[in-house]
Each structure stands twice: as structure tokens, then as C-alpha cells.
Structure 1
């Protein structure tokens, strides 16, 4: 059978009723994920033996995510939110450790460190991040793509600088993974919320931990599923923690992972490289259109386009059933595989009025 084109695959899974340009806030769920979650909920509601847990879905999502970011499944921990994973890492740092962050980065990669009160927080512009790593830096925490304006971090430069100074690295790939090919293996820790470009239900998130960095973390969320053999770990102290990153699992909410299994399988079918090319082409068309209207978006090679001076147009766009957002005082549009050139032209037509 001839494989489906991206357009054919998308049309089978998505039918948005708005011009939805807001994946950086929340991605749309593919139809297969919606149906899987509905079935799992019905099984739970009717007392089916298969309705109360979905261990297979969690395992499948863990493995799929690992393949997507270039690590084996045993390097992936699951949870419910990025800030929970980051909190685990923050708790591992000794008092007085220096954490280097980007000015204005997303709160989830800053707050778990900042609220401790006994860490040395240092903030620098995104473009200065790699050059700001120094011998005193214990950890660098940064988003791969900035939520507010789509600017990508120079992760190659960061990795080299951190290695030169012995600093650990934490990269939040929430605004990247799913459209931007991303290799998690070169960083001590990476995190990602799955409800944006991975198009999973809210409540699914992933943490990757290198084998070397694993020994520096305490599995604070360890429940019975953190054991190497979960069925002999249900009562009393755990006999043996999972040998891999599963020891850092936050006990997963099953329904979001039922959906995540399906969303990640869909991304694997269509290919992230194809999604990247599609998304970037739409973002480029939108940027060119903005410039022709006299507006200057913040420069970024990204699917996230943030434009100063247009936040006041949010009401007109909403009235036209166009879903975008305002972040850091700018109008933000974000493009994903279910968007089309017609979507781009529609928002530009409204902005032209």
C-alpha cells in the first residue's frame, strides 16, 4: 500500500472548526487519540477488568517518545507536568549551587529552582547563554524554543560550553519536540509537556535522564511503579528501584497516556522531518505576509511567530474564529501539521483590515 501523504494523514485525523494557530498553548488531539481515550473511559465506567489501568499504553508512549528524541526507553521517565520533573532536579542541587537561566524563559524551567531560596540564580539573554557558562555553574536550565517568541536556543554551543565547565544541562523541549528533530542524548536532563506539539491530552509529560546523571537524582516520587518489578513493590519499602529512568516516574495518570500512545504513533507515521518542513513553510509565509502589511515579527527560525504591536488585534481575530494568543505583550501565532496556507491567508486578511 502506498503510504499516505502528510495532507492525507492529517485529513483523516483532524477537522478543526476554527482557524487554529495556537499549538504553542495547546495542540489538537488526533481522532484516534480521542477514540482511544473514550474507549478507555467507557471500560472504566462499566467495570471492565481492563478499565482501571493502562500499563501497556504508558510503556508504548515511553518507548515512542524515546525513539522520537533519540534515546532508549529505559532513559525516559513519565509524569504529569514539566514543573514536576524540574522540581525533582531542583531538589537534587546542593545549597548555594549556581543555576543559569535565560531571561524571560518559561516559568516551569525557572520557578522550581528560584523558590528554593538557597540557590544562586543567574539570568542572561538567550543569545549570551553559552558564553555565560562558567566554572561555578552547576546547572544550565533552558527551553529549546522560547515559548514567548519562538527563538531557538543554540543547543550545540550550550552543550560544548557546559562540557568545558563541568555543568549539567536541562533542556525543556516542550515547544520543540513534535516539529523540530531533537536529540535528547546530549543533555543530562530533558523535559517535555506532551500536550502541545506532541498533540497528547494534558497530563502526560516526559523526562529523560542520562545514565551518568541518574545517580545524582533522588526518586522523590517513587511509588510502587518505581520498582524494578512493580508487582513485588506494591507493599512496604521498595526492594529494588527500576534500574533505568523509570525510577523517576511520577505515577502516571492513565487516560492521558492512552491518548499519548496514539498521538506519538501518528507522529512516527508521518515523520517529524515532514512536519518540520510543513510547519516552517507556513510560518515563513505568515512572516512574509506580516512584513508586507508593515509589521515586523521577532526574528526566529521557528514555527512560533511573535509580533510586537499587534496584541490589540486579538479581539478581531477571535471574532473571526481565529485562535491565536498574546504572550509577553506580542501577538503569537504557532503552526503545526493540521494548519494550511488557507489558515495563514485568513489571519493575514483579518490583520489587513
Structure 2
């Protein structure tokens, strides 16, 4: 049986100290190979049936990672598109509770409706801020800007107590932190960060009864029989969450299938232990240098942000260390292909 380290070493050979998974992941070698194979199919004029099979394999893999039946998973392109479906389902005047400065894709479709009451509170107060009349709580599982983790169990209980629905964006945790999508009404995630996939795919988990979502973007891909739904109005929408699908970016799913297979081989628990150990090493090193990162509750986050140091990002990039400048923070994010040497190189490059 291959070890975690051997599996990772076989898939990744970065040319930089890459600590920026919260923006985009590195692609595994198997994913690059799958993308190349998919392109060759198209270039050679061969049937693309296997690429459509990749879409369904990815849907099934994501359902396993999310802990829900595959019938509850819709495949699309962006979290913003999925958020838009949820926003479209709400009646005029409905209250949507959000976290201040959450990622735009989780928020903006509710604001652009123009007739919803969108209320923003500090992340730490979001569970306590659910009240009678709150229709929906929408929040990221981890904040993109600084890695703070939402207390999702507390949020779930508060929402249930007040009859509010819940929508969680797992984009910054899916792949390193176990998902419990069944605990929430709706959830979504893109796949090009911690799930190691190419750009162009995102998944939406809906309730067993499909919720109140209007399939306003329904195309031929949303038909119960897609290939019989190509002309004229779709006669019969899919009986599953596939009715919320958008036409798939086939090359993306060909690569993503290989990426999700790797995540499942490694195991999310093992990835989490690896990522958090590196984040803890970085936090300890920051303390020794006299820097204080944005605090996160135990057991921690794979994203570490240091206020005031975001200005160093161009200089670090020029030296071969890739991090992000987010809201003035230097944001480092640690994933399965990173090592203790990567952490130490970043620490050596910081002032203090």
C-alpha cells in the first residue's frame, strides 16, 4: 500500500514554494494526463462518450465526499450560479443573514435581487443573529480572506430553532476538512482549490425534495433524458438535482475525475492532519518572529493570514514563494503537496 508521502510525491513537482491553494491548487500529474487525453479525443474526432461519463463519475465522487446521495448533487460552473438559483427561490422581502465581508459569490446574488432584506453580521455572531423571520442563512465554511472557520453546528441548531434554511459554501474547506452537507439545506463548492481540479466545475447539494429552487437556467443538460431534450422546450426535467445542471465543460470534468480519485485515495482525514500540522508550524514560527496571525478557533485552519504583511506578496513571488495579498493580509494556505521546508522558507523570508 502506497504511503501518503509516496502518493503525493508521484503527483506533484512544483517549481516554486507554492503556498496559495486558497486561490488555486496545483494540478496532480494524473489530472494533467487526463486533460491531455481528453483534448486528444476532441482533436482526433473520436466519440466523447467517455467525457460525459467523467461528469457522472465526478458527481458521484463529490457526493461521497459530501456525505449525500448522488441524486442531491447538481453540476455547474460556479458557486455564484448556484447562489443565484437559491436567491431566485426566495419571496420578495425575505431576510437573508450573511457574514460581513464573506466571499462575493456567496453574497452578491442576494443583493442583486433588489427586493430581499440582506443582513450582514460579524462571522462570530452569525449563529446568535438568526431570528424569527430569517428565511435563509448564507455563509462560507471558511473565510477566504483570513481562514476563519464558521461554527457550523451552532449555526445549524440556531437555524432549525427559527425555521430558517441554510446555505454553506465549502469552497475553502472541501478537500481538507470533512463535509457534512446533509446537515444543511443547500451547499456548494468550486473544485479548483482544495479538490485539486481544473477551473470550470462547481457542485450544488440540494434537499432531498429539491427545495424550492426554480431551474431558471435549465438547458438540454437538465432534462431527464438530455439527448431527447435538445430541441424545443424541455419536456421533462430530471427527477434529481441534475435538473439544476448547466452544460458541462467536458475537459474540466475529465481532469477533475482524476483529482477527486486522488483525494479519495489519500483520505480527507489524512489531508487535514497534514495541512493543519503545517499551518500550526507556520503559526509557531510567526510567533517567534513577533507576528500575530488572524486567530482561528481550535482545531485550526489550513489558511493562515497575517495582518499588515500582504504588501510583501510581490516581493515573495519574485523570490519564488507564492502566497496571496487578501484585504491587506499575507495569506498562506497549506495543502497536501506542501512540506515543512516550504513553511520554513516562507518564515525565513519574513521580517522579524
TM class, shorter-length: over 0.9
Mapped pair 1:149 → 2:146: yes
Mapped pair 1:293 → 2:292: no
Aligned partners of 2:145, 2:54: CA distance in 1, in Å?
Answer: 32
Give CA-to-partner distance per residue, 1:127-154, whole Å, 9 cap, x none: 1001100111111000000000000000
Aligned partners of 2:17, 2:347: CA distance in 1, in Å?
Answer: 12
Give CA-to-partner distance per residue, 1:123-181, whole Å, 9 cap, x none: 00001001100111111000000000000000001111111111110000000010001
TM-score w.r.t. structure 2 length? 0.97
Aligned to 1:316: 315
Give CA-to-partner distance per residue, 1:228-250, whole Å, 9 cap, x none: 22232222322321111111111
Classify the secondary structure of the residue corresponding to 1:211: coil
Deviates more, 1:229-238 or 1:141-150: 229-238
Aligned to 1:164: 161
Aligned with 2:12 (options 5, 11, 14): 14
After superposition, the CA RMSD in angstroms is 1.2
TM-score w.r.t. structure 1 length? 0.97
Mapped pair 1:178 → 2:175: yes
Within-5 A mapping of 1:71-220: 71-212=68-209, 214-220=210-216
Classify the secondary structure of the residue corresponding to 2:269: helix
Is the Cα–Cα contact under 8 Å of residues 305 and 332 in structure 1 kept in the other structure? Answer: yes
Alignment length, in residue pairs?
349
Aligned with 2:225 (options 225, 229, 237): 229
Give CA-to-partner distance per residue, 1:84-121, whole Å, 9 cap, x none: 11111111111111010000100000001011111101
Q: Which runs of 4+ in 1 moved over 3 A?
A: none
Deviates more, 1:57-66 or 1:84-93: 84-93
Deviation at 1:190, TM superposition (A): 0.3
Name structure 2 gaps, 5 residues minimum: none
Give CA-to-partner distance per residue, 1:253-283, whole Å, 9 cap, x none: 1111111111001100000000000000000
Aligned to 2:302: 303
